[in-house]
Amino acid sequence: MKLKVLVDNNTLIDRYFEGEPGVSYYIEEGDTRVLFDVGYSDLFIKNGEKMGVDFFNLDYLVLSHSHLDHTWGLEPYVKRLTEEVMEGRALHRSKLIAHPGVFDSRTFTGEDELGVTMDQDRLKKFFDFHLTEEAFWLTDRLAFLGEVPRLNDFESQSPIGRVLVAGVYQEDYNRDDSAMVYVSEEGLVIITGCSHAGICNIIERARAVTGIQKVRDVIGGFHLLNPPERVMDKTVEYFKNLGAPKIHPCHCTDLGAKIALARVVDLGEVGVAFEMAYR
C-alpha cells in the first residue's frame, strides 16, 4: 500500500505545498485507488495534482466522519468532476463509503452547520453510495472499519455539539466516526481521520475486524487537543503496551500529546506531501 498526505495542519520542510486544519489522504493498494477524506476546501485537489493524483479515476471515496474539516472539500470536488465531464471526459463513478450517520446535520448553536453541506441527491450523480455500520473490505487487505465500539472508560466521554436525528437534536458523540486499516506483512496499519471514537478504541476495532493483534503503524488524527490528564495518561499507557515500532500522529494531536506519546513510542514526522509505502 502507498499512502500520500494531501492535507494536514502541517507541511513538510522544503516541500512546497500548502496546509489547512483538515485531513485528506490518497491511498493505492494494488490497482485500487482511494481518496480518504477531502479536507476543508479545494486544497486537497491542488496539492494532490502536484503529487500526480488523478481525481477523476478513483475507485473509492471514503469519509471518516461528517465534520467540516474532513468533508467540506466535497463541493469543490464535485465542481471539478463536473468541469471534466463538460470537457468531454467520461465519468468514472467512485463508490462513496461512510457510516450512515455521516449526513446527519451537526451544530453547536443551532444556527451553524458543522457537517456535510452537500445534498445527497447531488452527490449521487457522481458517486455510488455504500453507507454501512459494518466493516467493509475495499480490497482483501484494506478495510473501512464501520462503527467503532466505545470499549474503554476514558475516550469519547464528552459530546461535541449536537446532531439532528429523526428531527430531534441530541448530544453528539460522533457515532459516525470511523477509520481504515491495512493488513501489511508486518502488522496492521491504521489510518484515522479525527479519532472522535478514541484512538485506542479504533485500534481495538481494527484488531477485531482483521483478527490480527500486531500493529505496524498508526497514522492520522488522534483527537488529543489539550486532553484531560486521565485521558492522556491512559492513552500513553495503551501505546506503551501496544508494541508498535512507530506511529505518525497528526492533524488534531497537539504538541503536548506528541511529547507524551514520544516517551513510550517512536514518533514520525507527518505533514502535507508525506508519503509512506507498506508491504
Q: Which residues contact 31 (CB under 8 A, 6 or more apart)?
A: none
**Mean per-residue pLDDT for 173-193?**
97
Per-residue pLDDT, 34: 98
pLDDT tens-digit series, residues 122-167: 999 999 999 999 999 999 999 999 999 999 999 999 999 999 998 8
Positive/negative CA dihedral, 246, 249, 250, 256: negative
**Mean per-residue pLDDT for 197-209?**
98
Q: 186 is in which domain, residue-wise?
A: 2-277
Per the DSSP assignment, residues forming a β-bridge with 29 are 32
Per-residue pLDDT, 270: 95
Per-residue pLDDT, 110: 79
- Is 66's pLDDT higher than 90? yes
**DSSP secondary structure string for all residues of 92-124:** -PEEEEE-GGGGS-EESSSSS--S--S-HHHHT
Query: Which band of pLDDT confidence, cut at 50, 70 and 90, is reported for residue 265?
Result: very high
Query: What are the cell numbers at 71?
Result: 468533508
Q: For residue 221, what is the domain's CATH number?
A: 3.60.15.10
The model carries a pTM of 0.95
pLDDT tens-digit series, residues 81-129: 999 999 988 888 999 999 999 999 999 887 899 999 999 999 999 999 9
- The domain total for the chain is 1
Query: Which band of pLDDT confidence, cut at 50, 70 and 90, is reported for residue 15?
Result: confident
